[in-house]
């Protein structure tokens, strides 16, 4: 992520920006010390930290000086009051895939989500998104280590559903699909829906998940970024490296165009949003973000876009 930040600065050729890199030592205390050093050295905006437990410690320092924070955590409960999250939030995935599935006539949704923090966020987003798009949730189950019982409960109700939403990462999605098949569900007769976590070789290799749809950034952006990164650093970037790149590119663009108000809340929450490596994004006033995502289809050869990323945000 540090490499990506430096790459953004080099590609933007903005001599008026200086990056101060601080190590948070993987702890809230370290993050607080790093933030304190940065503001003492004149930082006008803080990018990071990466992990949720360190964000409040940094926010405390930044708020005392009226400095905004753009953090990379996916935990939306820590956003707000000058703390903006530039990350891949599950809410965006859910909203996009439910919007798309409703547009192709799939409005009766069954769902299986994990019993964990990610599952809780997805549950709240799903229960808001389905009725908003004129649909109904016909079955909803959460699972822990026992997948068989929830899978059986959902399998029995699939007759009244035309879409089945499973929110989990590669290995777990495959295991849930296997549990559903074992419970007698015919997954070929229903439209499978997922989140960006489906972008995984295990999902593409699963016969049961072929044709499933999930929301994710258009992969073309990351491919182009990865090529430039390889040329510059001789290695592969981590997937979250684009967040650091986009944060620095945003700061560079605002510094160039927005004068003294460049990092004010009004500028950062511009409803038109900004274009990044992974497509459009915009910050909401509550510090969370919204992304313009593509809809991808699971094939044996990988994810294939069936609906591109939007070119602008609606009203």
Please tell me the distance from the alpha carbon of residue 184 to that of residue 227, in angstroms, as a whole number: 45
Quote the CA–CA distance of 78 and 190 in Å, as a whole number. Answer: 37
Sort 133 into a burial class: Cβ within 10 Å, 0-12 / 13-18 / 19+. Answer: middle
Percent of the chain clearing pLDDT 70 (strictly above): 99
pLDDT at residue 315 tops 60:
no
- Beta-bridged to residue 150, according to DSSP, are none
Instruction: Give the percent of the chain with pLDDT over 90.
Output: 90
2-88+220-283 has which CATH code? 3.40.50.2300
Would you place residue 170 in the very low, low, confident or very high pLDDT band (cuts 50, 70, 90)?
confident
Contact 77, 56 (CB under 8 A): no
Give 39-93 pLDDT, tens digit per residue: 999 999 999 999 999 999 999 999 999 999 999 998 999 999 999 999 999 999 9
Angle at 61 between CA 283 and CA 22, to 5 degrees: 85
CATH superfamily, with its number, for domain 90-216+295-307: Response regulator (3.40.50.2300)
- pLDDT, tens digit, 9 for 90 and up, residues 15-44: 688 999 999 999 999 999 999 999 999 999
**pLDDT of 261:** 84
Instruction: Give the pLDDT of residue 311.
Output: 86
Least confident of 164-178, 229-243, 253-267: 253-267
What was the pLDDT predicted at 260? 84
- Digit-coded pLDDT (tens) for 149-168: 999 999 999 999 999 999 99
CA distance 255 to 257: 6
pTM: 0.89
- Same-fold call for 2-88+220-283 versus 90-216+295-307: yes
The domain limits of the chain are 2-88+220-283, 90-216+295-307
d(CA 147, CA 141): 10
Mean pLDDT of 2-6: 96
């Amino acid at each position: 992520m540090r490499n990506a930040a430096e790459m953004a600065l080099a590609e933007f050729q903005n001599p008026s920006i200086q990056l101060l890199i601080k190590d948070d030592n993987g702890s809230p205390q370290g993050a607080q010390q790093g933030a304190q050093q940065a503001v003492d050295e004149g930082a006008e905006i803080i990018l990071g930290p990466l992990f949720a437990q360190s964000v409040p410690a940094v926010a405390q320092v930044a708020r005392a000086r009226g400095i905004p924070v753009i953090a990379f955590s996916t935990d939306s409960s820590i956003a707000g009051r000058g703390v903006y999250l530039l990350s891949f939030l599950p809410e965006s995935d859910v909203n996009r895939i439910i919007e798309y599935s409703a547009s192709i006539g799939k409005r009766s949704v069954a769902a299986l989500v994990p019993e964990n923090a990610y599952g809780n966020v997805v549950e709240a987003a799903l229960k808001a998104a389905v009725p908003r798009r004129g649909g109904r949730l016909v079955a909803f189950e959460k699972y822990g280590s026992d997948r068989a019982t929830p899978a059986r409960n959902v399998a029995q109700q699939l007759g009244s559903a035309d879409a089945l939403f499973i929110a989990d990462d590669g290995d777990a999605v495959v295991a849930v699909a296997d549990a559903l098949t074992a419970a007698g569900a015919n997954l070929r007769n229903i439209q499978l829906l997922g989140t960006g976590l489906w972008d995984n070789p295990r999902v593409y290799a699963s016969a049961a998940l072929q044709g499933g749809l999930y929301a994710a950034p258009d992969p073309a952006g990351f491919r182009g970024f990865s090529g430039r990164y390889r040329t510059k650093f001789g290695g592969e970037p981590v997937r979250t490296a684009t967040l650091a790149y986009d944060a620095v590119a945003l700061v560079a663009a605002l510094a160039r165009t927005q004068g003294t108000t460049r990092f004010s809340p009004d500028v950062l929450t511009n409803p038109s949003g900004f274009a990044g490596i992974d497509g459009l994004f915009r910050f909401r006033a509550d510090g969370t973000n919204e992304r313009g995502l593509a809809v991808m289809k699971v094939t044996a050869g990988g994810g294939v876009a069936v609906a591109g990323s939007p070119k602008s945000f609606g009203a």
